[in-house]
Amino acid sequence: MRQTIAIVLQYRVAIILALTLTVSGLIVPGYLSETTLSLGLDRAAAIGLIATGLTVLLIAGQIDLSGGAIFALAGIVSTILQPSLGILPAALVGVFVGGLCGAINGGLVVGLKVNSLVLTLATMLIFRAVAHWITNSQPVTGTDIMFSLTMAQIYLDIFSIRSALFIVCIILLHLWLTRTIAGRNVFAVGSNATAAEESGVAAGRVVFFGFIFAGSLAGVAGVLQSLVTNTGSPVFGSELTVAVIAAVVVGGTRLEGGRGSALGTLGGVLTMAALTMAMEFQSVPAYLQQVVSGLILILLVVLDRTVHTRGRAAGAIPLLVTQNPITTGGKP
Amino acid sequence: MSEIASELDSESSNERFARGSRLVDLLSKTGLSLAILAVILYGSFSSPAFFTTGNFLNILTSMSIIGIVVVGMTFVLVVGGLADLSVPATIACGAILSLGLQPVIGPVPAFVVAVALSGLIGSVNGVLVGYLGVNPIIATLGIGTIALGIVQAAVGGVIVYGANPESAEFVKGRLFGIPVVVLIFLAVAVIGHFILARSFWGRWTLATGGNYSAAEASAVPVKAVKAGAFVITAVAAGISGGLLGLTLQSARPLIGQGYEFSAITAVVVGGVSIMGGFGSVPRAIAGLIFVQLLTNVMVLDGVRTPIQGFVLGILIAGAVGMDSALRKRGVA
């Protein structure tokens, strides 16, 4: 019985996603068609790309509230520079601006040793102010509307460029977090920064590059959004921050740091997107949609806090401790 | 005996040790007052409209609504609860219900019910954070979303208008030449200061924020104290929302948007540490006064809104940077 509960809890995101898809497929006509799913995936990609970056930061024990502002700023820069640089170089500059914003966040958090919540709250205001400043609070338009049509094209019946990029990023991040030493160091820093530092992990550097990674991905998401809509606007992404944090946390990543997974984030993003789309198809009022997503967020987090399963505990404690030859008397 | 006394005396008057910290100590105590004075001086020279009774009454009135939230938010930061992001929802709850229930049960009971229900939202936050150990950011974000959705569903998702002109007159009116809203703010601030600085609850709050385990070991009911901070904030935000609704005579669901960040800004600029265990209501209000005066001067000088956001962002970053620097010296 315990075993079953443990397994159910371990794959709770996948189960909820499957349930959402099944129930919506039965109730909402045309929900499981390729067109609907590919459009849903494309819309989820913007949240997903920022969420991918935030996953690393949360695992490292930090948080970034400025993702939405970076999203807007990078999009604006890439749109404004289009006439002088051409579309692709301008897009690269936009991503670079995202990375730069991340570097500012990371440099200040590590250098001043301040709480990342308040600091990124401050930089969120600053980045958004810059975005309003350079655009005069007006939306800016790109040069080539046809290019945005190619960006929005669906390939292989299911992937747009955006959603394919999101999936690739998540898979690469999963491999990096689970298969490389640098990835493991992120977990070490998140669960105990002092201990990690003592063991020779440069905790400051991990956090710094975590912020650059998150900033760059928010930049990528912003640039792609601007390319797809052929617009850059200083108000883009203001409601994204909450959705992104919710998606990552639903995916099982802890805000306290030290635990989380890229595949969990993929599940979280897809679950939230599937739910939103199903409710929109059924014309559920926006405020009831909020109640449902809020309830799911709180439920999953409370489950995570209150139910400690054996399976998870065994994973958290090293084998040497659970089966220490000295305490077990040498018996296996 | 006298040897020990002289030993202690010489230690405390150790020149090299005391000189640096005395300066920092002085700066941390008077820095904000000096800054406020500087803004007032600059404002009086730069704009003829600044140093007038009318302008100061304007600042006071606009400060009062947010000030009530600031008093509550101080408790959350001091107890080590990071921040309460459900404030927009509790403000909306206060505003929408105190207007929406007016035709049904009369203005005063409507106000009381609105504040009580806001307190209920706060107690849900408190149970999640204090007793279940959910991260405050996630808990308040999720509960805020849910509460806002439920309140909107209750009134059908529309803008609510006031139906009782007398109550509006009372809130907008003056008592002894001072706006009623300001008097209510002063009352809330005095009560908040008394609780935090003079009562056992305040001592417990400071102890819990300073060192959770030590406070728990000293038989402080840490869980209740932590939960209480969120209830206090929610009640304050409910009062603030009710007053805001009565002043405007209309309440839309997003009425409280941005108040959470403004409140956090004021508290942090006032030198209350986000890490908990240190802070007072007068400090937070000094921070609020500084921010409000600065904004007022910028508005009078015709500084554009984006640049105002820029300045506020830098202000927060500077305040947290200073907090961490002072902390290292063991002053603040």
Question: Which of the four pLDDT bands, split at 50, 70 and 90, describes residue B72?
Answer: very high
Nearest to B75 by CA among B171, B194, B156, B170: B194
Question: Which of the four pLDDT bands, split at 50, 70 and 90, describes residue B14?
Answer: very low
Q: Which residue has the higher pLDDT, B161 or A320?
A: B161
Q: Which of A118, A129, A255 lies nearest to residue B135, judging by beta carbons? A: A255
A17-39 residue pLDDT tens: 888 888 888 887 777 777 777 87
Q: Is residue B332 pLDDT above 50, yes or no?
A: no
Highest mean pLDDT among A136-150, A152-166, A236-250, B113-127: B113-127
Distance of CA A159 to the CA centre of its chain: 19
Distance from CA of B329 to the nearest CA of A (A): 13
Contact B329, A141 (CB under 8 A): no
CB contact under 8 A, B135 and A295: no
Q: Which residues from B are below 8 Å from A135, CB to CB?
A: none
- Positive/negative CA dihedral, B303, B305, B307, B312: positive
- For residue B124, being part of any structural domain is answered with yes
- For residue B10, being part of any structural domain is answered with no
- For residue B18, being part of any structural domain is answered with no
User: Which residue of A lies nearest to B310 if distances are taken between CA atoms?
Assistant: A126
* 3-class state of residue B170 by DSSP: helix
Question: Which of the four pLDDT bands, split at 50, 70 and 90, describes residue B18?
Answer: very low
**Counted domains in chain B:** 1
Q: Where are the alpha helices (DSSP H) in chain B?
A: 2-12, 15-46, 53-78, 87-100, 102-105, 107-126, 136-155, 165-172, 180-198, 200-210, 212-217, 222-248, 259-269, 281-300, 305-329
- For residue B108, being part of any structural domain is answered with yes
* ipTM confidence: 0.75
Q: What is the pLDDT of residue A81?
A: 84
- For residue B149, being part of any structural domain is answered with yes
Q: Which residues from A are below 8 Å from B309, CB to CB?
A: 125-126, 128-129, 132
- For residue B239, being part of any structural domain is answered with yes
B166-224 residue pLDDT tens: 777 777 777 777 888 899 999 999 999 999 999 999 999 999 988 888 888 888 899 99
CB contact under 8 A, A119 and B128: no
- For residue B15, being part of any structural domain is answered with no
User: Which of A104, A114, A128, A297 to mutate to probe the B interface, most B CBs <10 Å?
Assistant: A114
State how beta strands A140-141 and B178-179 pair.
unpaired
Domain that holds residue B196: 32-325
Those residues whose C-beta lies under 8 Å from the C-beta of residue A283, and which sit 6 or more positions away, are none
- For residue B21, being part of any structural domain is answered with no
CB contact under 8 A, A129 and B309: yes
Task: Give B 114-143 residues with CB within 8 A of chain A.
Answer: 128, 132-135, 137-139, 141-143
Q: Is residue B25 pLDDT above 80, yes or no?
A: no
Q: Is residue A273 pLDDT above 80, yes or no?
A: yes
Q: Which residues from B are below 8 Å from A302, CB to CB?
A: 128, 132, 134
- Positive/negative CA dihedral, B257, B259, B262, B267: negative
Q: Is residue A316 pLDDT above 50, yes or no?
A: no
Question: A–B: how many Cβ contacts below 8 A?
Answer: 141
> CA A217, CA A170: separation in Å to the nearest integer?
11
> CA B323, CA B171: separation in Å to the nearest integer?
38
Amino acid present at A181: I
Here the CATH number for the domain that contains residue B236 is 1.10.3470
- C-alpha pair distances (Å), A131 with each of B39, B249, B258, B310: 27, 34, 18, 10
Contact A247, A45 (CB under 8 A): no
Distance of CA B254 to the CA centre of its chain: 19
Q: Is residue A321 pLDDT above 60, yes or no?
A: no
Question: Which of the four pLDDT bands, split at 50, 70 and 90, describes residue A330?
Answer: very low
Question: Which of the four pLDDT bands, split at 50, 70 and 90, describes residue B11?
Answer: very low
Q: What is the pLDDT of residue B288?
A: 92
Residue range A127-142: mean pLDDT, rounded: 84
Q: Where are the alpha helices (DSSP H) in A136-160?
A: 145-151
CB contact under 8 A, A115 and B275: yes
Q: Which residue has the higher pLDDT, B290 or A33?
A: B290
> CA B300, CA B293: separation in Å to the nearest integer?
10
User: Which of A290, A295, A299, A306 to mutate to probe the B interface, most B CBs <10 Å?
Assistant: A290
Distance of CA A138 to the CA centre of its chain: 28
**What domains sit in chain A, N to C, each tagged with a CATH number?**
2-322 (1.10.3470)
